[in-house]
Amino acid sequence: MSGSKVASMADAIRDVVRDGDTVAIEGFTHLISFAAGHEIIRQGRRDLTLARLTPDLIYDQMVAAGVARKLVFSWLGNPGVGGLNAIRRRIERAAVAESGQPALELEEYSHHGMVGRYTAGAANLPFYPLRSYFETDLPKANPLIRQVASPYGDGVVYAVPPLRPDVTIVHAQRASAAGDTQVWGLLGCQKEAAFAADRVIVVVEELVSDEVIRADPNRTIIPGLIVDAVVVEPWGAHPSYVQGAYDRDNRFYLDWDPISRDEAATQAWLAEWVLGVSGRGEYMEKLGADRMASLRPSAAAPSGSVDYGEYR
Amino acid sequence: MSDTAVAFTKSEMMIVAAARELAGQRVCFVGVGLPNIAVNLAKRTVAPEMELVYEAGVFGARPARLPLSIGDPTIVTGATAVTSMFELFTFYLQGGLIDVGFLGAAQIDRFGNINTTVIGDYDDPTTRLPGSGGACEIAINARQVFVIMRQSRRSFVDSIDFRTSPGNLGGAVNAAQIRREQGWLGRGPSVVVTDLGIYHFDDDGEMRLDSLHPGATLDEARATIGWDLRLAPSVETTPPPTADELALIRDELDPGGAYTT
């Protein structure tokens, strides 16, 4: 077992994320590391290319804070609520003209395309083939989506290029100090995004011993082998959620819509909740115990345990 | 029948009509927004055996509450399987296991081609919409596609600004040939349910009004569609929501009125 990789969020972001990097804070609705995104804002990173299937509120906030130059994505919305308004202000004609800010650069795929891009990146392949994009305008909007013929003469498919982020950041239920990381609930494409990346930060609710990891090896999605830093940050995914620990704060997703529609309100929110706090601990203190209690699961639903057996 | 006395909104009628269309379906891929509530209503009424598939990586979901997002923790607890998104899109969808893909749309044309990407020019848009998500590959690989959306001149258009998800392309004959040549698994869109009526697709692959919801008129339907609307030989009236269907929506699925107001 290698040594401890446990670091504070501030140190992990300072050491691992650089200006101009391609950064993927992954997690499909579940396990989105808002804490890492906010620390990137506090440290004033610039010119990042932000990759995520669903940019979600975290990239809306990061774009509003000015850390990003480009977005690589497949679904740009506030699920069940509406649009990502700060990002839209950097894309739509009238708002871009009014703000005088440069338009955000976009590189757009579908979900399967993005998952495939991470998969090709992780597997060291030149492209990923998929049966999508036929007769759509997506290959025109993004010329990196290209048709290829099967080498076996049975038709055509589309190809997407590998995505190899400089940094992938994932939130998880638990990891060991060495970075062996276990997740349950929605798995998204965190495994693929982590293996595709040059550097990996894991943010966890709970630091556990090596014995806990080894008692349930099927649940390990990322080995410490590819992890650079382990940050222990309970509630670090709020307003996203952690299966079994706390619920998605749907109220915040609804509240963000009117805030983000107004540039001044958006900047005021960032000043108060991101730049105005030292880190996640202070953010949660500000959010308050009542709100946190309201997000706890209504009851426990433990898995049955399985017997791996011992073989000597 | 006392049910007919119960007042209902256009959105409630739309959700109920969409749910009823799912009777007899086995495996349904659930899209974000209106499809989510329609499919969850169907699971509690006409299609209790239906397997709910969510692109977040869940097969056989049994949501205990209506999820606001399609990645909610309630779709995980008690599900048959949680998969990576890679497995979901490759083995389940591209592998041909999805009977119905249920989508929403911002713009649709007479052949059921869908735009969820931009209004205006892609590089300099008037309005930026969410984009494909999984919709593009669902439209190609699900065996058939159901659509639920509100009707307006802005949404039912003669020509969509961007083709995110293919429907019957330029017509049925052309679409069938292209699907065959390119090995698509799906046969394309089969029903569009709106706040005014129910549309299926005729032999030319064009949308045809089959049923008007109670209270909706043909004039209203025509006024909110940007092409010369085709009608079934006999346009029916959609049976109104039952008291049970309305109670499920109001008390269980959408007590806050997020989908229905």
Question: CB neighbours of B215 closer than 8 A, spacing ≥ 6?
Answer: B10
pLDDT at B261: 66
Distances (CA, A) of A105 to A51, A73, A75, B202, B212: 12, 11, 15, 41, 44
B82 touches chain A (CB under 8 A): yes
Give residue B260's pLDDT: 76
pLDDT band at B5 (very low <50, low <70, confident <90, very high): low
Which residues of B are catalytically annotated? 55
Q: Which residues of B touch A149 (CB under 8 A)?
A: none
Task: Please write the tens of the pLDDT for every residue from A280-289.
Answer: 999 999 999 9
Which residues numbered 8-37 in B keep a CB inside 8 Å of some CB on A?
A: 32-33, 36
Per-window interface: B 175-234 vs A, CB < 8 A: 178, 181-185
State the Cα–Cα distance between residues A52 and A23, nearest whole angstrom: 9
Banded model confidence at residue A3, pLDDT cuts 50, 70, 90 = confident
Say if the Cβ atoms of A110 and B136 lie within 8 Å: yes
CA B31 to chain CA centroid, Å, is: 8
Q: A118 with A189: CB under 8 angstroms?
A: yes
3-state DSSP call for residue B178?
Answer: helix
For chain B, list the domains and their CATH numbers: 2-253 (3.40.1080.10)
Spell out which residues of chain B touch residue A110, defining contact as CB-CB under 8 Å. 131-137
Q: Which residues in chain A are closer than 8 Å to B182, comparing Cβ atoms?
A: 134, 155-156
Question: What is d(CA A283, CA A289) in angstroms, rounded to the nearest whole number?
Answer: 11
**First-to-final CA distance of chain B:** 26
Question: Which of B206, B114, B103, B128 lies closest to B162 in space, CA to CA?
Answer: B114
**B207 - beta bridge partners?**
B201
Does B73 sit within 8 Å of A189, measured CB to CB?
no
Which of the residue ranges A92-106, A165-179, A191-205 would you say has the lowest mean pLDDT?
A92-106
- Say yes or no to pLDDT of B59 above 80: yes
Give the pLDDT confidence score for residue A146 in this predicted structure: 98
| Residue to test with chain A: of B32, B55, B68, B168, most A Cβ within 10 A | B68
pLDDT tens-digit map of A192-214: 999 999 999 999 999 999 999 99
Q: B83: which chain A residues are within 8 Å (Cβ-Cβ)? A: 187
ipTM of the complex, rounded to two decimals: 0.96
Tens of pLDDT, residues A268-310: 999 999 999 999 999 999 999 999 999 999 999 999 999 999 9
Residue A28 in contact with residue A188, Cβ under 8 Å?
yes
- Residues B119-167 have pLDDT tens digits of 999 999 999 999 999 999 999 999 999 999 999 999 999 999 999 999 9
Q: Which residue has the tokens 């092409």?
A: B227
- Report the pLDDT value the prediction gives residue A2, as an integer from 0 to 100: 57
**Considering chain B, what percentage of its residues have pLDDT values greater than 70?**
98
pTM above 0.95, yes or no: yes
pLDDT in tens, B103-123: 999 999 999 999 999 999 999
In eight-state DSSP terms, residue B238 is P
Give the pLDDT band (50/70/90) at residue B2. very low
CB contact under 8 A, B137 and A155: no
One-letter amino acid at A196 equals A
Amino acid of residue B123: D
Tell me the domains of chain A and their CATH numbers: 9-125+162-294 (3.40.1080.10), 126-161 (no CATH)
Cα of B132 to nearest chain A Cα, Å: 5
